[in-house]
Amino acid sequence: MENAWKTEIPEFRPEDNPHGLLEESSFATLFPKYRETYLKECWPLVQNSLSKFHIKADLDLLEGSMSVRTTRKTWDPASILKARDLIKLLSRSVPYEHAVRVMEDDMAADIIKIGSMVRNRDKFVKRRQRLIGPGGCTLKSIELLTNCYVLVQGQTVAALGPFKGLQQVRRIVTDTMKNVHPIYNIKALMIKRELERNPKLKNENWDRFLPNFKPKNVPKKKSTKKAKKPYTPFPPAPAESKIDKLLESGEYFLKEDEKQKRKKKLKEDKQKEAKIKREAKRNMAFIPPVE
């Protein structure tokens, strides 16, 4: 088979299975409290869309659950699996208008759990926001390139669209949570779309055209922990006071005029030293170079 993605799947009709299903199958899923009002409003529409496939749908507001089950008149065995995906999407905040499209033959749904991919909470929030992008532009570009509806909600990413598009969405999401920016995958998809239009490059390797992501090893900050001193039971020696320093040098016992004389002498000595250094620096210009 040359291209499996382009093969048309024959439509399954009621005439193909006139006897219906022998066994009853059922699926149930829980939904959060904040979805209760919306589900109550759109539930008649859900029941109406599933009645075409003779599937019963129940909404239990006490338990906070939705369930779907087959009947004796159900003719499509895959419709119950599609109905299961429908209630899963509704529980993950996907609007009914989009979720009902999963009942079509060429549509499928994928719910990607991203909560356990990153341990650090701050990193998880930043990478999830990176997937959405400023003003939702990154998410919109993913939708346009993959022909899928994508919704980031809490710790899951709900995707709805063709099978090939869902594979691409899953790869972008998992790579983003592994710290690979989604722009690399978006750029690769854009390049592939352009290359598909060129008949000359149809049977050639496209790796040379695709962007190559090289992970950078960012050096970790060196820990500035001080080395622990050996334990001693004695307290540290007190710092010397000003009087202690005067007693040690002998200045404490000098009279006021003697102190002034000593200060003056120290000042003169410093000035002499500075003068000698300045003169030596000046004379450096007059020393002839060695021949």
Q: How far apart are CA 54 and CA 25, in angstroms?
A: 12
Residue 168 CB-density burial (10 A; 0-12 exposed, 13-18 middle, 19+ buried): buried
pLDDT above 90: residue 40: yes
Region 48-56: mean pLDDT is: 92
Please enumerate in sequence order all residues whose Cβ is within 8 A of that of 163, keeping only pairs 6 or more positions apart, or say none.
5, 108
Q: 3-class DSSP state for residue 58?
A: strand
Separation of first and last alpha carbons in the chain: 90
pLDDT above 60: residue 1: no
Region(s) of the chain under CATH 3.30.1370.10: 16-105, 106-213
Q: How far apart are CA 92 and CA 115, in angstroms?
A: 14
Element housing 152 (H / E): strand 149-153
- From the list 58, 50, 126, the residue with the least C-alpha distance to 81 is 50
The CATH class that applies to domain 106-213 reads alpha beta
Q: Is the pTM value of this prediction over 0.75?
A: no
| Spacing of C-alpha 252 from chain mean position | 69
Q: How far apart are CA 198 and CA 176, in angstroms?
A: 30
- From the list 71, 77, 75, 72, the residue with the least C-alpha distance to 55 is 71
Q: How far apart are CA 252 and CA 246, in angstroms?
A: 5
Q: Please give the structure tokens belonging to residue 40.
A: 């109550």
pLDDT single digits (tens) 191-200: 888 888 887 7
Please enumerate in sequence order all residues whose Cβ is within 8 A of that of 186, keeping only pairs 6 or more positions apart, or say none.
138, 141, 142, 145, 172
Q: How many CB atoms lie within 10 A of CB 18?
A: 7
**Residue 216 confidence (pLDDT):** 67
What dotted CATH number matches 16-105? 3.30.1370.10
Q: How far apart are CA 209 and CA 191, in angstroms?
A: 7
pLDDT single digits (tens) 230-286: 888 888 888 888 888 888 888 788 888 888 888 899 899 999 999 999 999 888 888
